[in-house]
Structures are given as C-alpha cells and as structure tokens.
Amino acid sequence: MGLSQEAFAEKSGLHRTYISALECKKRSIALDNVQKIADALEIEPYLLFKE
C-alpha cells in the first residue's frame, strides 16, 4: 500500500503508536480493530490471518 504508519493510522481511525505496536508484535489486536484495518486496506478481514 505504501502508506506511512501515520497515514495508515488516519485512514483506519487507529492511533499511530497502536499500529507500530502491532507491527512489532508488542500488542495483540482487538477484534473490532481487525475490521478497521481490513476496511482501511479494502480487504476482507479473514485475509489478515491468511498465511
């Protein structure tokens, strides 16, 4: 997608530090945030868990 964490945070409605913590595997993702991230990426939520 080529977005900065800040731009993605704005698009998803999540805080930049939360996005960073997810990327670094320092936080677990809340189920409601899975949908927000999927919406921001314009994909179905299950694709976030597909290997």
Average pLDDT on 7-32 reads 95
Q: Please, are residues 15 and 8 in contact by the beta-carbon 8 Å criterion? A: no
Judged against a pLDDT cut of 70, whether residue 14 lies above it is answered with yes
- The rounded distance, in Å, linking the Cα atoms of 45 and 39 is 8
pLDDT for residue 15 is more than 70: yes
Q: Label residue 51 by pLDDT band (50, 70, 90).
A: confident
For residue 45, the model assigns a pLDDT of 96
The pTM assigned to this predicted structure is 0.83
Residues of the chain above pLDDT 70, percent: 98
- Three-state SS across the chain? CCCCHHHHHHHHCCCHHHHHHHHCCCCCCCHHHHHHHHHHHCCCHHHHHCC
How many residues belong to the chain? 51
> Do residues 41 and 18 make contact, with C-beta atoms less than 8 angstroms apart?
no
